Amino acid sequence: MNLFGKHLVCTQDWSVEELEAVLGLAAEMKKDRFSPKYTSLLAYKTFFMFFYNPSVRTRQSFECAATELGGHAQFLEPSSMRLKTSKSAGETIEDAAKVMSRYACGLGIRILEDKVQKYGDGEALIREYCENATMPIVSMAHDKFHPCQGLADVQGAREHLGSIKGKKLLLVWGHGALARSWCSVQESILINSRLGMNVTIANPKGYDLDPEVIAATKKNCQANGTKFEVTNEPVECYRGADIVYSRNWMSPNAYDAEKGFQKAKEVEQALKYTEWITDSKKMALTNNALYTHPMPVDRGHEVSDEVCSGKRSIIYDVAENRLHAQKAIMALTMSKFDYKPAGKDSAKRPVAA
Amino acid sequence: MNLFGKHLVCTQDWSVEELEAVLGLAAEMKKDRFSPKYTSLLAYKTFFMFFYNPSVRTRQSFECAATELGGHAQFLEPSSMRLKTSKSAGETIEDAAKVMSRYACGLGIRILEDKVQKYGDGEALIREYCENATMPIVSMAHDKFHPCQGLADVQGAREHLGSIKGKKLLLVWGHGALARSWCSVQESILINSRLGMNVTIANPKGYDLDPEVIAATKKNCQANGTKFEVTNEPVECYRGADIVYSRNWMSPNAYDAEKGFQKAKEVEQALKYTEWITDSKKMALTNNALYTHPMPVDRGHEVSDEVCSGKRSIIYDVAENRLHAQKAIMALTMSKFDYKPAGKDSAKRPVAA
Amino acid sequence: MNLFGKHLVCTQDWSVEELEAVLGLAAEMKKDRFSPKYTSLLAYKTFFMFFYNPSVRTRQSFECAATELGGHAQFLEPSSMRLKTSKSAGETIEDAAKVMSRYACGLGIRILEDKVQKYGDGEALIREYCENATMPIVSMAHDKFHPCQGLADVQGAREHLGSIKGKKLLLVWGHGALARSWCSVQESILINSRLGMNVTIANPKGYDLDPEVIAATKKNCQANGTKFEVTNEPVECYRGADIVYSRNWMSPNAYDAEKGFQKAKEVEQALKYTEWITDSKKMALTNNALYTHPMPVDRGHEVSDEVCSGKRSIIYDVAENRLHAQKAIMALTMSKFDYKPAGKDSAKRPVAA
């Protein structure tokens, strides 16, 4: 398996075997974090990070990842770039991507719903970079998907549950004032259904996720012979869950055709659904479920303090795994690392320039 | 002595022996700046720098320090972090500190008077990070203290005077348009009284520093049998001084209970005291004193050009020492460095993960 | 030849032999990009980048350059620096430069026309840093010159043409909405005339470049016995050209004595000259010329897509050469690298601290 040069926009674009290579390497990297096996993989190399949206967690974990692989991550804000838009003169994405490919070993891009005119524009922009770059592109979260978060979620769940096959994931909407992106939750249902979990999605009416992603998740479950359901009920859905993942997300009506993303309206509406919070009473209905969340957590809205800081909460482990998963992705797609999954004979990977 | 993992919020929190370890190592590091003894202490490790207030000097010296120890400093602005406040949903400091501890070997925080609602809030925030982090925190200047500046001051003074014990430090207010923080000057009187100097503080009426810090300084002097005085007189105070440290600082009335820090009012008032400037005439009254200042200097207000650029000015040496003192702090608190002060037998320090 | 510590504000300040050393080393570095000969030249050293103007390309290439030489580039925005101005209290450039020299191995400065009150103020600021710093300063583009771009241009031209001596460079104005700086184009005519090209400058009436730079270029041509001409004609100027360099630039009237740089007025005026675009029809008049541009390109205004993406376009190669030229400059001026041009016996350079 040779992942050198491969883009990662959504885990659904990669084969299960490829995703398992990332997960296997990430687990090894976590055990042996500063091993010389890894610390010079990106020596003297540059990884560009393009933040259309600011971020602290994502920046921290990607910049650490590059550092721990011996390389350097450049923090770049495209607002200081004179890119061509429908309204102003500037550089085309083709030109930007081609030049950056001369300098760097890879490019991460983050662009969320509030920086685009309509849902899907962020993904389109990333895919335009992918078409023009001659280096690998990785999504650092965009309006549709967040592949690194999805991989970190799975790594964390396996650390605590062993195999996740046949177990039940409850992805449940939480109320709150943040009008959050669909990217983390959509990635979660895709990768977990892919890797064999039963998936239940629970949200109030009017908060359905992208129908295409729902359809793809359903298909993943059918292929694995697992259960898939969507419900608008906030309590009974917890029964039998092995992992509870609560998170606020915006409604499909968040975009106004003219004015773009309407945060204030979303927040006002989302705060009304106060029964949508993960608390101990609901957790008692589960199969002693783990609690997870991609962070930052909006405590008191998405989840009670008691659950979030409780013994079954794995939020810090999952946050840490962002680092390891991203190191594994970067090692496999941006370096000449010849990864052999433990206990397997893998042919030498061709060494790229 | 094992300083691994220890927070540094104010030099007063550390023992004299611990401070001497920093000063000893800083001096060795200055002599042998790029020695392989030091250049891999933080190899592949990340140091986070949290700038609630922008800064150039502090950023330059901390980022250089991490680089010279083989590590990488990430420049982070919490404005891009969705932290919980009394007014908005977001992440708690507990969550932020716990996750960052998974990624980094240490965290520096800078938060000055104009970013907080009242004096002391910056210190409280840093101490909340200290309580929740499992990595060492270092103040990069906050509303009350500036430990790295204090250590750099002492290092500079010793380079030029040898021992500072029993010598006289004059800390004197200067007029000007900057309404400056108390942090550097309060740290200076604490550490210098601790290490055996006689301390004279001179400022106009209405510009007294924090009474608790004044009391602690007085107590330090009593413990050492040295002299301590506060005066409102701008000339005679120079007599017999071995070090003159002039600096503008805000009045205790700088905060309005509702509107927070009131810079304009402070500046207007501070510009009136034109007799408060360190010039050659006053310096002539001293014991051929060194002139120092934590920079940036407001020339023509705090000090005359003649004194600031004169032969007895050590401002550039002290500024350089910020780098060495910070390298020493980082080596001792964030790495496995087994520092043995020259000429002493020190037991091996336990090696931390 | 010892370039250690030498400032680079304009290529005209350096001897041809010195420029050839940069070009020679840049070409070698491009061939053997990550050779251990180069990757520890700036190990553990810090290069400061001072961006009065934001930039993506320049930042990317300089920060990569430092990384590939084993060092670290700090991205600094002087807006967070409290510098003294005619209107506000703050630090003098003398103080800033002297302290920074204690920390870093070199300093890059970028300051363009829209950040200064009048043409030439940016150059004056850089030269003030040069006078006060004890480390080498390199212009990362300022209102008058852009030495790194000029060197990258020559490197690119030679890669495709072999020798450029006696060949014809056409520097031609393009219309557009960006009111661009004179820095790249003025550097280009200086260095190319210096190295033996015939130079033709073509622009509409009212768009003449700095008369002093024109005079210096003319003098360079006279010294080399080559041709120099300025024309206001947009088509016939292409005849016989070996390199066509098109670029929009502002008029000499861009500055209002009181209000500074007037972009809107410039853009409005520049958009009228629609015949000033490099297209295939005009390129057909040339001696199968290369097409170049310092990027970002304003396609459809400065040049047609057909030419810009055509076989004779070397824009991406030139952009890549920014990296190599800058690595060579940094290696020669900021490290102890003992560069011996291939095939020449060079005496050991004295090793600096």
Owner of token pair 């030419």: C307
Q: How many CB atoms lie within 10 A of CB A235?
A: 13
Residue-averaged pLDDT of chain A = 93
Picking from B61, B295, B315, the nearest residue to C103 by CB comes out as B61
CB contact under 8 A, B64 and C103: yes
Q: How many CB atoms lie within 10 A of CB A107?
A: 28
| Single pTM value for the model | 0.95
Residue A91's pLDDT is what?
Answer: 86
Chains that touch B (3 or more CB pairs under 8 A): A, C
**ipTM attached to this prediction:** 0.94
Q: β-pairing, B198-202 with B228-231?
A: parallel
Residue A333, φ and ψ in degrees, nearest 5: -100, -20
* Residues near A197 by beta carbon (within 8 Å), at least 6 away in sequence: A164, A165, A166, A167, A168, A169, A226, A243
Rounded to whole angstroms, the Cα distance separating B68 from B33 reads: 8
Question: pLDDT (tens digit, 9 = 90+) per residue, B31-72?
Answer: 999 999 999 999 999 999 999 988 888 999 999 999 999 999
Chains that touch A (3 or more CB pairs under 8 A): B, C
Residue B114's pLDDT is what?
Answer: 84
Give chain A's domains with CATH numbers. 11-145+322-334 (3.40.50.1370), 149-317 (3.40.50.1370)
Residue-averaged pLDDT of chain C = 93
Average pLDDT (B99-124) is 94
Which helix (DSSP H) or strand (DSSP E) does residue B47 occupy? strand B46-51
Strands (E), chain A: 46-51, 72-76, 106-111, 137-142, 168-173, 198-202, 228-231, 243-247, 255-256, 260-261, 290-292
Evaluate if residue A237 carries a pLDDT over 70. Answer: yes
Q: pLDDT category, B91, cuts 50, 70, 90?
A: confident
Evaluate if residue A66 carries a pLDDT over 80. Answer: yes
Question: pLDDT (tens digit, 9 = 90+) per residue, C190-229?
Answer: 999 999 999 999 999 999 999 999 999 999 999 999 999 9
CB contact under 8 A, A323 and B103: yes
Q: Which of B74, B94, B134 is the best residue to mutate to test the A interface, defined by the most A CB atoms within 10 Å of its own CB?
A: B74
Is the Cβ–Cβ distance between B276 and B172 less than 8 Å? yes
Picking from C44, C76, C88, the nearest residue to B56 by CB comes out as C76
Question: pLDDT (tens digit, 9 = 90+) per residue, B302-332?
Answer: 999 999 999 999 999 999 999 999 999 999 9
In chain C, which residues touch A (CB < 8 A)?
Answer: 34, 39, 54-57, 59-61, 63-64, 67-68, 70, 72, 75, 176-178, 295-299, 301, 315-316, 319-320, 323
CB contact under 8 A, B56 and C48: no
Owner of token pair 């005079």: C215
Residue-averaged pLDDT of chain B = 93
Q: pLDDT category, B347, cuts 50, 70, 90?
A: very low
